[in-house]
């Protein structure tokens, strides 16, 4: 069987230039008005460049932005869950003529990321930003939600138009063998002979619950891609190189090699909970992945989302035949944990025992315990992983405060 088709019905839409075309566009980019953009926009450009955001080939118009926020669809009816926009100051916007070209420059590194033909400029008032946050994040809590904070830090005007991407940054050099474009991962999956493929989304170290989820997926699909976020995270999250060491240790010791692949992608987390679960499924379709594992609090932060909101949202988006609709399906799995009475990993669907019998597994809880030097309960994580994490935390010069959410404490469990 062939792999699932890329989202949008137009194949992989890749905006990254190469060879002579890249050389010529780079020369031209130096002559254009430069707009400095945030790490979020830079990561979005990387995703558009490699085709991970197919069918997007640029930043969204106001109609796209409004449709995505309200109805999960762009102006042409293509399902998309989170606005992909880029901003600038009103002064810069006033200086940009209609249909003119600009260069987008990463504000942190100064790297010329892309050229862009500006087809539309639209103002974003504070009321507009608040409305977007309520639609996408279901909260406008600037102080507590990192995604909301980023939206409110956006400048006054959004720019829309197609891009020509000039750089993937240094992901390929920093993560050799892990950083994969959709085309590369599709080829790896094809070489394996898989057609049904599940992805395990990871921004935390892979603990026993993640391992269990991955093995459930292997039982029902041809294989699993452990797909790690290697873009920017919030303060307190564990960096990608440490998380990848943990995955290596688990794959080496606890997985059958012919049914597992590892890969990484360069997006920045938005911590959008249910909406971000949809985004994770959308771009996974472009990587050739037919199923996304969605657990109890996918891509959440704090206590902003219900335990299984990220699962039920898949039933709320427009459904239909054709390339405009999302084809990657959620693999919905209940809360998983180690049960001492069951003497193994279990879920709320399979375990009849009480909270007192369970070792409740959470990436947030694990980070907090390790950062404070606490003893880790038996069966919380594999020894190989815990040794790597203890070494990481021992090397930190500053302690990072980690706030617990109610789901990480297990207070909702029976």
Compute the distance between CA of residue 17 and CA of residue 31 in angstroms, rounded to an integer. Answer: 18
Does 203 qualify as catalytic in the annotation? yes
Neighbour-count burial of 342, counting CB atoms closer than 10 A to its CB (0-12 exposed, 13-18 middle, 19+ buried): middle
Does 204 qualify as catalytic in the annotation? yes
Catalytic hit among 40, 158, 186, 203: 203
Helix (H) or strand (E) holding 95: helix 90-95
β-bridge pairing 344-347 and 336-339: antiparallel
CB 299 within 8 A of CB 273: yes
The angle that helices 383-394 and 363-371 make with each other, rounded to 10 degrees, is: 50
Cis peptide preceding 162, ω within 30 of 0? no
Listed residue (185, 321, 338) closest to 266, CA to CA: 185
Catalytic hit among 204, 286, 296, 358: 204
| DSSP structure string for 177-231 | TTB--HHHHHHHHHHHT-SSEEEEEESS---HHHHHHHHHHHHHSSEEEEEEE-S
Cβ contacts of 413 within 8 Å, gap of 6 or more: 335, 348, 355, 358, 360
Active-site residue set = 203-204
């Amino acid at each position: 069987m062939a792999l699932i088709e890329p989202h949008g019905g137009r194949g992989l839409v890749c905006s990254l230039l190469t060879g002579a075309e890249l050389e010529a566009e780079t020369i031209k980019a130096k002559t254009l008005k430069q707009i400095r953009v945030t790490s979020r926009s830079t990561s979005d450009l990387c995703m558009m460049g490699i085709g991970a955001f197919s069918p997007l080939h640029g930043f969204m118009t106001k109609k796209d932005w409004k449709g995505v926020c309200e109805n999960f669809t762009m102006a042409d009816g293509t399902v998309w869950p989170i606005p992909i926009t880029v901003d600038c100051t009103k002064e810069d916007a006033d200086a940009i003529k209609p249909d003119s070209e600009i260069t987008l420059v990463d504000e942190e590194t100064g790297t010329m990321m892309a050229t862009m033909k500006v087809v539309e400029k639209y103002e974003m008032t504070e009321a507009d930003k608040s409305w977007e946050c309520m639609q996408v994040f279901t909260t406008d809590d600037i102080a507590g939600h990192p995604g909301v904070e980023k939206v409110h830090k956006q400048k006054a005007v959004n720019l829309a138009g197609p891009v020509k991407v000039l750089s993937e940054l240094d992901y390929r050099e920093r993560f050799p063998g892990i950083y994969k474009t959709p085309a590369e991962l599709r080829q790896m999956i094809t070489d394996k002979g898989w057609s049904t493929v599940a992805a395990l989304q990871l921004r935390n170290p892979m603990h026993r619950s993640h391992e269990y989820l991955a093995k459930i997926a292997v039982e029902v699909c041809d294989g699993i891609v452990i797909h790690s976020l290697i873009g920017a995270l919030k303060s307190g999250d564990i960096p990608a190189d440490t998380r990848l060491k943990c995955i290596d240790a688990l794959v080496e010791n606890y997985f059958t090699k012919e049914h597992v692949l590892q890969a990484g992608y360069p997006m920045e987390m938005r911590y959008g909970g249910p909406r971000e679960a949809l985004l994770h499924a959308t771009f996974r379709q472009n990587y050739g992945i037919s199923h996304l594992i969605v657990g109890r609090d996918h891509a959440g932060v704090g206590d902003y989302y219900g335990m299984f909101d990220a699962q039920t949202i898949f039933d709320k988006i427009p459904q239909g035949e054709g390339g405009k609709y999302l084809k990657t399906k959620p693999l919905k799995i209940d809360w998983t944990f180690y049960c001492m009475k069951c003497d193994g990993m279990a879920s709320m669907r399979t375990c009849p025992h009480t909270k007192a019998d369970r070792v409740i597994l959470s990436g947030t809880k694990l980070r907090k315990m390790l950062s404070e030097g606490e003893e880790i309960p038996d069966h919380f994580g594999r020894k190989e992983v815990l040794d790597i994490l203890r070494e990481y935390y021992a090397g930190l010069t500053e302690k990072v405060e980690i706030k617990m959410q109610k789901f990480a404490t297990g207070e909702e469990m029976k």
